[in-house]
Structure 1
Amino acid sequence: MSSPSDLAAIIVAAGQGLRAGQPLPKQFALLDGVPVLRRAIDALVRGGVRRFVLAIPAGAEEIVAKCLSGLADGCNVATVTGGTTRQASVRAALEILVDEPPVAVLIHDAARPHCPPEVLARLYAALETAPAAIPVLPVADSLAYATGALMGQPAAREALRRVQTPQAFRFADILAAHRTWVGDATAGDDAQVAQAASLPVTLVEGDERLHKLTYAADFPQTAAPRWPRSGTGFDVHRLVAGEELWLCGIRIDHPLGLSGHSDADVGLHAVVDAILGAVGAGDIGQHFPPSDPKWRGAASDQFLTHAVDLAAERGYAIGNVDLTLICEAPKIGPHRPAMQQRLAELLRVGVEAVNVKATTTERLGFAGRGEGIAAQAVAMLVPNDGVPA
Structure 2
Amino acid sequence: MNCAIILAAGKGKRFGGDKLFATLAGKPLLYHCLRTFEDSPVVGSVCIPTNSRNKKKVVELVKKWRFSKVQAILNGGKTRYASVAVGVKNSPANTSLFIIHNAANPLVSHEEIEACVKVVHGEIKGAAVGRPVEQTLKRILRGRVVKTIERKDAWEMETPQVVDAEIFRAALEKFPPSSFYFTDDISVLEKCGLKTVVVPASDANRKITTPHDLAVAELSVGAPDGHNAMQNMRDLPANFHVGIGEDGHSFEQPSRPTRGAKKSLILGGVKIPNMPALVANSDGDVLLHALCNAISSALGEGSLGTYATKMCRNGEGKSTAYLAHVLTRIHKKGYKMHNCAISFEAAKPKIDPLVLRLRKSLATLLSLPEAAIGITATSGEKLTSFGRGEGIACRAVVLLLKS
Q: When the two structures are superposed, what TM-score results if normalisation uses the length of structure 1?
A: 0.54
SS of the residue corresponding to residue 214 of structure 1 reads coil
Residue 52 of structure 2 aligns with which residue?
Answer: 58
1:90 Cα deviation after fit: 0.8
State the alpha-carbon separation in 2 of the partners of residues 163 and 18 from structure 1. Answer: 20
Does residue 147 (structure 1) correspond to residue 123 (structure 2)? The answer is no
1:198 Cα deviation after fit: 2.4
- Are the structure 2 counterparts of residues 174 and 153 from structure 1 closer, same or farther at C-alpha, using a change threshold of 3 Å? same
State the alpha-carbon separation in 1 of the partners of residues 130 and 369 from structure 2. Answer: 40
Whether the 8 Å contact between 2:24 and 2:217 is mirrored in structure 1 is no
2:96 aligned residue (81, 84, 103): 103
Residue 202 of structure 1 aligns with which residue?
Answer: 197
SS of the residue corresponding to residue 57 of structure 2 reads helix
Of 161-170 and 190-199, deviating more is 190-199
Task: Within 5 Å, give how 1:94-243 maps onto structure 2.
Answer: 94-98=88-92, 100-129=93-122, 130-181=124-175, 184-220=179-215
1:209 Cα deviation after fit: 1.6
Counterpart of 1:31 in structure 2: which amino acid?
L
SS of the residue corresponding to residue 14 of structure 2 reads helix
Counterpart of 2:107 in structure 1: which amino acid?
H
1:148 Cα deviation after fit: 3.0
State the alpha-carbon separation in 2 of the partners of residues 180 and 70 from structure 1. Answer: 39
Task: Within 5 Å, give how 1:52-91 maps onto structure 2.
Answer: 52-71=46-65, 74-91=68-85
State the alpha-carbon separation in 2 of the partners of residues 118 and 380 from structure 1. Answer: 25
SS of the residue corresponding to residue 135 of structure 2 reads coil
Counterpart of 2:370 in structure 1: which amino acid?
P
State the alpha-carbon separation in 2 of the partners of residues 380 and 212 from structure 1. Answer: 28
State the alpha-carbon separation in 1 of the partners of residues 95 and 368 from structure 2. Answer: 41
Whether the 8 Å contact between 2:97 and 2:163 is mirrored in structure 1 is yes
Residue 383 of structure 1 aligns with which residue?
Answer: 370
Residue 92 of structure 1 aligns with which residue?
Answer: 86
1:44 Cα deviation after fit: 2.1
1:77 Cα deviation after fit: 2.8
Number of aligned residue pairs: give it: 239
Counterpart of 1:78 in structure 2: which amino acid?
A
SS of the residue corresponding to residue 118 of structure 1 reads helix
SS of the residue corresponding to residue 59 of structure 2 reads helix
1:70 Cα deviation after fit: 4.3
Counterpart of 1:187 in structure 2: which amino acid?
F
Q: When the two structures are superposed, what TM-score results if normalisation uses the length of structure 2?
A: 0.52
CA RMSD of aligned residues (A): 3.7
State the alpha-carbon separation in 2 of the partners of residues 117 and 384 from structure 1. Answer: 26
Q: Deviations over 1:224-245 (max 9, x none)?
A: 9xxxxx99xxxxxxxxxxxxxx
Whether the 8 Å contact between 2:25 and 2:218 is mirrored in structure 1 is yes
State the alpha-carbon separation in 1 of the partners of residues 213 and 27 from structure 2. Answer: 15
Q: Which runs of 4+ in 1 moved over 4 A?
A: 221-224, 377-382
State the alpha-carbon separation in 2 of the partners of residues 34 and 215 from structure 1. Answer: 18
1:72 Cα deviation after fit: 5.5
Max Rg structure: 2
Task: Within 5 Å, give how 1:347-366 maps onto structure 2.
Answer: none
Q: Deviations over 1:167-203 (max 9, x none)?
A: 0011111111112105624211211222222222122
SS of the residue corresponding to residue 134 of structure 1 reads strand
Flag the structure with more relative contact order, 1 or 2, with Cα contacts below 8 A and sequence separation at least 6: 1
Counterpart of 1:178 in structure 2: which amino acid?
L
Q: Deviations over 1:97-140 (max 9, x none)?
A: 15x33111100001000112221221121113321111121111
SS of the residue corresponding to residue 165 of structure 1 reads strand
2:13 aligned residue (5, 14, 18): 18
State the alpha-carbon separation in 1 of the partners of residues 19 and 15 from structure 2. Answer: 6
SS of the residue corresponding to residue 18 of structure 1 reads coil
- Are the structure 2 counterparts of residues 381 and 141 from structure 1 closer, same or farther at C-alpha, using a change threshold of 3 Å? closer
Whether the 8 Å contact between 1:50 and 1:76 is mirrored in structure 2 is no
Unaligned runs of 5+ in 2: 220-267, 270-326, 328-355, 373-403
Residue 394 of structure 2 aligns with which residue?
Answer: none
SS of the residue corresponding to residue 219 of structure 1 reads helix
Whether the 8 Å contact between 2:4 and 2:45 is mirrored in structure 1 is yes
SS of the residue corresponding to residue 199 of structure 2 reads strand
- Are the structure 2 counterparts of residues 213 and 106 from structure 1 closer, same or farther at C-alpha, using a change threshold of 3 Å? same
Identity %: 22
SS of the residue corresponding to residue 67 of structure 1 reads helix
State the alpha-carbon separation in 2 of the partners of residues 53 and 92 from structure 1. Answer: 9
SS of the residue corresponding to residue 89 of structure 2 reads helix
Residue 2 of structure 2 aligns with which residue?
Answer: 7
SS of the residue corresponding to residue 11 of structure 1 reads strand
1:47 aligned residue (23, 29, 40): 40
1:47 Cα deviation after fit: 2.7
1:74 Cα deviation after fit: 4.3
Of 25-34 and 171-180, deviating more is 25-34
Whether the 8 Å contact between 1:51 and 1:75 is mirrored in structure 2 is yes
State the alpha-carbon separation in 2 of the partners of residues 86 and 53 from structure 1. Answer: 15
